[in-house]
A = this chain, B = another copy of it.
Amino acid sequence: MVSQRPGPNLSRIATSLGVSVATVSNALSGKGRVSEALIEKIRSHAAELGYVPSQAGRALRTGRSGVLGLVLPDIANPLFPKIAQAIEFAASAAGYGVLIADSRGDISAQTEAINRLVERGVDGMVIVPRRATRISAASCPVAVIDTASTPGNTVAADHWQGGREIAAHLAGLGHKQILIIGNNHESNVQNDRAGGIRAGLQPGMRSETLWVERLENETGAGCRLGLAEKARQGFTAFAALSDLQALRALTELQQEGISVPADVSVTGFDDLIWSPVVTPSLTTVRMDMDTIAEIAVSALVDRINENGTREGVMVTAETERVPMQLIIRQSSGPAKPAQKTSEMENL
């Protein structure tokens, strides 16, 4: 009843060439001692037969599945494609497959997702944690991608520095009053970004922070942010902590007849797919996901290859923060001279 695997296996190659399975295995893996001539013969014959090693057999023997898990808080997050793509690429290059698991927002589902991956025998996993959750002990090496201020973080973009880049850019354009727009004040990432912006303000500049989530809890989802009013109050720059909020700000301002970047500037974070496409295209800060993924995966792979089991499962990397890159596009421009000096006196 067992469905036969279609392809040939080691023993078929072995009997077909009149050698032992062990020799074939050694020849293909290049590990044992086999003569050059035989290696060549075995390899070509294996290729001819289209031999594909059985991961199951290998996994059973070696105790390694060759698969990494990727746990995401919510795949619907638009940042996900880049992360997944980068992780998949890095893992693939390192010879690993990637098993995905979505924790669908809630924390118990995150634990469940981790368990599912462990049951599937992943050799390690990359976790992008939900808000400030603590990773309950998984029985395999774990790399965490969140932000440097998260305890146990392995590697992440330097969100704080990204915030400073934004602040410096806006300062250079002459903006004095900056409205920071975030959607989740519990997110470590967003707090770091906002902190970076505030830390980068020059003397004579001030900022205020608008948490959209709070606004929505009070007045319902999809509500107006009231940015036109803010502009009238003297804010000339709207620094969103994610491109989604930036897009929201941009379209709301446009709808209200406020011109971007002539009247006010709008900036975002993450350089999501639509950022270059909207009009005006969005000035934002990009994470170097490829580098982050590569560091996370190679830290994970290094730990997996140390056969001596360390005490902790959390993996650490040498480089903990990867710089973010400012992408200047059309949505940011020189600050319009303040008209309402009464508001400026608030400084």
Shortest CB distance A12–B (Å): 16
A118 to B276, CA, bound (A): 37
Partner of A244, one of B139, B277, B280: B277
**A239 interface residue (CB < 8 Å to B):** no
Q: Give A60's nearest chain B residue, CB to CB.
A: B56
Q: How many copies does the complex hold?
A: 2
Q: Give A308's nearest chain B residue, CB to CB.
A: B3
**A76 interface residue (CB < 8 Å to B):** yes
CB-CB under 8 A for A255 and B254, given A3-B307, A76-B82, A118-B52: yes
A138 to B78, CA, bound (A): 31
Q: Are B116 and A92 in contact (CB under 8 A)?
A: yes
Q: Give A70's nearest chain B residue, CB to CB.
A: B100
Residue from A65, A84, A279 whose CB has the most chain B CB atoms within 10 Å: A279
A240 to B89, CA, bound (A): 32
Partner of A247, one of B7, B77, B118, B274: B274
A254 partner residues in chain B, CB cutoff 8 A? 251, 254-255, 279
Shortest CB distance A116–B (Å): 7
Q: Are B99 and A273 in contact (CB under 8 A)?
A: no
**A63 interface residue (CB < 8 Å to B):** yes
Shortest CB distance A110–B (Å): 14
Against B, the Cβ 8 Å flags (1 = close, 0 = not) of A86-120 are: 00110010000111111010000000000011111
A7 partner residues in chain B, CB cutoff 8 A? 139
Q: Are B273 and A252 in contact (CB under 8 A)?
A: no
**A1 interface residue (CB < 8 Å to B):** yes
Interface size, chain A (Cβ < 8 Å): 72
Q: Are A121 and B244 in contact (CB under 8 A)?
A: no
* Segment 35-64 of A: residues with Cβ below 8 Å from B: 52-57, 59-64
A54 partner residues in chain B, CB cutoff 8 A? 60, 121
CB-CB under 8 A for A84 and B88, given A99-B67, A277-B247: no
Q: Are B102 and A278 in contact (CB under 8 A)?
A: no
Q: Are A279 and B307 in contact (CB under 8 A)?
A: no
A340 partner residues in chain B, CB cutoff 8 A? none
Partner of A251, one of B52, B62, B278: B278
A77 to B274, CA, bound (A): 10
A312 to B252, CA, bound (A): 53
Q: Give A243's nearest chain B residue, CB to CB.
A: B274
CB-CB under 8 A for A248 and B279, given A54-B60, A56-B56, A119-B55: yes
A222 partner residues in chain B, CB cutoff 8 A? 276-277, 281
Q: Give A92's nearest chain B residue, CB to CB.
A: B116
A283 to B47, CA, bound (A): 54
**A15 interface residue (CB < 8 Å to B):** no
A118 partner residues in chain B, CB cutoff 8 A? 52
**A2 interface residue (CB < 8 Å to B):** yes
Q: Give A227's nearest chain B residue, CB to CB.
A: B279
Contacts A55-B121, A80-B80, A222-B281 aside, 10 further interface pairs with beta carbons under 8 A come to: A54-B60, A57-B60, A66-B120, A75-B81, A78-B273, A88-B101, A98-B100, A244-B277, A254-B255, A254-B279
Measuring CB to CB, which residues of chain A are less than 8 angstroms from any residue of chain B? 1-7, 52-57, 59-67, 70, 75-78, 80-82, 84-85, 88-89, 92, 97-102, 104, 116-121, 139, 221-222, 224, 244, 247-248, 250-252, 254-255, 259-260, 273-274, 276-281, 307, 309
